[in-house]
């Protein structure tokens, strides 16, 4: 997986802190996904509608997370290409 490498390269000076924050926020994200999925299944009650709604909600959350990563993460390779003579 490339995600831990991307997290480490965001702030090279604070690699340990970034790894800890990455692990912590990953756990929070998994907990939010379980909570939102369970709440959607409980709210709709009907399994056909509940599972479809849950897939849609979690899909939108996944796309939102991907979009924020693409927009706000630094590209570590871009810095290496500029400093290499």
Split into its structural domains, the chain has a count of: 1
DSSP string, 59-78: HHHHHHHHHHHHHH---HHH
Q: What is the pLDDT of residue 16?
A: 83
Residues spanned by the domain of 8: 3-83
Q: What is the pLDDT of residue 60?
A: 92
Distance (Å, rounded) from C-alpha 77 to C-alpha 66? Answer: 19
Distance (Å, rounded) from C-alpha 35 to C-alpha 32? Answer: 5
Q: pTM to 2 decimals?
A: 0.64
42 pLDDT higher than 80:
yes
79 pLDDT higher than 70:
no
Q: What is the pLDDT of residue 84?
A: 54
31 pLDDT higher than 90:
yes
């Amino acid at each position: 997986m490339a995600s831990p490498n991307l997290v480490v390269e965001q702030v090279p000076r604070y690699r340990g802190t970034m790894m800890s924050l990455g692990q912590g926020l990953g756990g929070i994200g998994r907990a939010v996904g379980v909570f939102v999925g369970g709440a959607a299944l409980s709210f709709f009650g009907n399994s056909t509608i509940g599972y479809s709604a849950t897939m849609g909600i979690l899909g939108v959350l996944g796309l939102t997370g991907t979009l924020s990563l693409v927009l706000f993460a630094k590209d570590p390779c871009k810095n290496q290409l500029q400093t290499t003579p």
